[in-house]
Structure 1
Amino acid sequence: MTTQIHPVDHELIEAAAHVARTRCQGDNHTMAAAARARDGRIVTAVNAYHFTGGPCAELVVIGAAAAQGAYELDTIVAVGDRDRGVVPPCGRCRQVLLDYFPALKVIVGEDDRIRTVLITDLLPESYIWADHQLDAE
């Protein structure tokens, strides 16, 4: 597998970091996500922590984007509260992001190792539930 590195969308990181600083307060909301839609819009969201497994910020941002009519996402990033910086998606989020957006770019890494990779590089050799959608394009 060859990892494809793409330019880092620093504006997207800052959007998520701003939401993490200003909206993540207390244990219920500890992560923020920002995604850039194909039309250039940035959509942000926070997680909804719950002991039953509430949705991660990346999953909430998918719904928030759809609610705004943005059904095609290009790039996504998650940032932790308390200045934790960029946080990679968990396994469940990786699978959902791959299923919804098989060409999605994801910002990962920390400090001077921030990079943007394809979701397929984060979940290699995986079945893509959305394969049938690729044939329609």
Structure 2
Amino acid sequence: MTTQTDPVDHELVQAAADVARTRCRGDNHTMAAAARARDGRIVTAVNAYHFTGGPCAELVLIGAAAAQGAYELDTIVAVGDRDRGVVPPCGRCRQVLLDYFPDLEVIVGAGARTRTVRITDLLPESYVWADHQLDTE
């Protein structure tokens, strides 16, 4: 059962929406993501669509955040272009986000139903990436 954790970070949703509106042009970039780093910074990114399975905006954001020295993310949201609003992460992104940031909060839902949930609520009974777990012990 998914439970609401914290109030929605509307500044984060707006940052993703602004990037979706201004940077997502054409079929190659249709989704934007924004995340709040532990130090309060907001990092943004767009997807890189490709028929071979290019990365989603959330995955591009992980690399962009690391390139900026933001290795700990607290909250993430994805927003679609053409005013599609908040879009929940796909299954692959849920697994990667959980592996990298097990305490991450994710903004999901639409309109008045927008809410913040824990990544573990979006991917219960998840696979444990054993090699990754060994690195953190």
TM-score tier (shorter): over 0.9
Which portions of structure 1, spanning 4 or more consecutive aligned residues, are displaced by more than 6 angstroms? none
Q: Residues of 2 paired with 1:58 and 1:91: CA distance?
A: 12
Q: Which moved more, 1:99-108 or 1:120-129?
A: 120-129
- Measured against aligned partners, the alpha-carbon deviations of 1:81-112 in whole angstroms (never above 9, x if no partner) come to 00000000000000000000000000000010
Q: Residues of 2 paired with 1:115 and 1:3: CA distance?
A: 9
Counterpart of 2:31?
Answer: 31
Q: How many Å apart are 1:128 and its aligned residue? A: 3.1
Q: How many Å apart are 1:5 and its aligned residue? A: 2.4
**What pairs with 1:40-55 in structure 2 (closer than 5 Å)?**
40-55=40-55
**What pairs with 1:1-137 in structure 2 (closer than 5 Å)?**
1=1, 3-129=3-129, 130-132=132-134, 136=137
The 3-state SS of whatever aligns with 1:44 is strand
Gaps of 5+ in 2: none
- For the 8 Å contact 2:31–2:78, the answer to whether it is kept is yes
Aligned residues: 135
Gaps of 5+ in 1: none
Question: TM-score, length-normalised on structure 2?
Answer: 0.94
Q: Residues of 1 paired with 2:125 and 2:95: CA distance?
A: 12
Q: Residues of 2 paired with 1:122 and 1:36: CA distance?
A: 19
Amino acid of the structure 1 residue aligned with 2:71: Y
Question: TM-score, length-normalised on structure 1?
Answer: 0.94
Q: How many Å apart are 1:133 and its aligned residue? A: 5.7
- Measured against aligned partners, the alpha-carbon deviations of 1:36-81 in whole angstroms (never above 9, x if no partner) come to 0000000000000000000000000000000000000000000000
Cα root mean square deviation, aligned: 1.4
